[in-house]
Amino acid sequence: MTHVVSSLLVAATVLLGSAAHAASLSAEFVDAQGKPLSDAVLTLQGPAGKPDPAPKADMDQRDQRFAPHVLAVRTGTQIKFPNSDNIRHQVYSFSAAKRFELRLYGGTPSDPVLFDKPGLVVLGCNIHDWMLGYVYVTDDPWFGVSNDKGTLTLDQLPAGHYTATLWHPQAPDMQPLAGGDFDIPAAGLHRRFSIAVQPKGDDVPAAPAPSAFGDAFHKAAHE
């Protein structure tokens, strides 16, 4: 994801750099206990910018997990669902923002899926109940997802006044939260955001523990 974002950011910087003074926002996410919070989504609404005409993104499936776990995209993004595992997956979503189903497949399906409505799309795999991924579709021009250290840097921002919106999979009712209004000076801004995350629901199934049979099978399959 970092690679995707950075490429986006690089593109934005190239595009915006000539228009205005580029500023950056260094955001830090913590939970109520002050621990770094990863997978937090930050979207900014501020001075008008030029949106990417045909944004694209990938949601990989690796080690029977969605990678990244949380993907933030702009409305209208075409997302590919490559399968890096050597087993097949059947990715689906019953979310109102995007209801779809990719039949059992391996490798990268030819057609990307268009996410044309803002909102949250929860991804699942029909044959691996524990696989869970989130696609956060937003209309805001600037957005990012915090890394493992709970930090996120948005570059090439025009200095100005911004309104921030926060989201996290464990946010209450999984609803977006207001992140506050603030000005980002040309010199950049470092800001700390706190999200009171809720514990993971017990309804969510966990990945099965690797069994001896599974190990043996895995080994046999790779030799």
Partner 1 sequence: MKRPLSFQARIAGVLILLLLVVVGAVFVAVKAATQDAVRKQAQAQLEVGTRVFQGLLEMRGKRLRDAVQLLSSDFGFRDAVASADSATIRSVLLNHGARINANDMFLLGMDGKVLSSTIDQIPEGSPFPYYQALRDLKSHNQSMLIVPLQGTPHLLVESAVLAPLPIARVVMGFSMDDDLAQELRSLSGLQVSFLSVVNQVPGQIISTQPQPLYDSLRGLMMKPADDQMQMTEHGKHSYLSARLNLGNTGDSNGDQVVALLQSPLDQAMQAFAPLDEKLFWITIIALVASLVGTLLLARSVSGPVRTLALAAERIGEGDYSTPVNLERSDELGKLAGAINSMQSGIAQREKQLAHNALHDGLTGLPNRALVMERLGSAIAAERGVALLYLGIENFRAINDSIGPEGVEQLLQVMGEQLQLPLRPGDTVARLSGNEFLLLVHNAEVDAAVAVADRLQRLLLKPQRIHDHDLSLDACIGIAAYPANGDSPSELVKRAAIARQDATQMPGRLQVYEDGRDLAHQRQISLIRDLRHAARNGELMLHYQPKLDIRNGRVRQAEALLRWQHPQFGTVSPAEFIVLAERTGSIQLLTNWVIEEAMRQLAEWNRRGLHVQLSVNISADDLLDGDLADRVSDLLKLYRVPAEQLIFEITESAVMREPEHALNVLNRLRECGISLSVDDFGTGYSSLAHLKRLPVQELKIDQSFVRNLDETSEDAVIVRSTIEMSHNLGLKVVAEGVEYEHSLRLLERWHCDTAQGYLISRPLTAVAFEAWIAKSHRSPSLMIH
Which residues make up the interface to partner 1 (CB under 8 A)? 92, 94-95, 99, 122-126, 129, 131-132, 174, 201-205
Instruction: Write down the least CB distance from residue 69 to partner 1, Å.
Output: 13
For partner 1, give the closer residue by CB, 62 or 99: 99
CA separation for the pair 44, 30 (Å, rounded): 18
For partner 1, give the closer residue by CB, 94 or 217: 94
Instruction: Write down the least CB distance from residue 83 to partner 1, Å.
Output: 17
Q: How many helices (H) and strands (E) does the chain have?
A: 2, 17
For partner 1, give the closer residue by CB, 21 or 117: 117
Instruction: Write down the least CB distance from residue 7 to partner 1, Å.
Output: 29
Quick check: helix, strand or coil at residue 52?
coil
Instruction: Write down the least CB distance from residue 60 to partner 1, Å.
Output: 17
Handedness of CA 8, 28, 200, 166 (dihedral sign): negative
Instruction: Write down the least CB distance from residue 130 to partner 1, Å.
Output: 8
CA separation for the pair 203, 192 (Å, rounded): 31
Handedness of CA 163, 188, 5, 141 (dihedral sign): positive
For partner 1, give the closer residue by CB, 104 or 196: 104
For partner 1, give the closer residue by CB, 79 or 152: 79
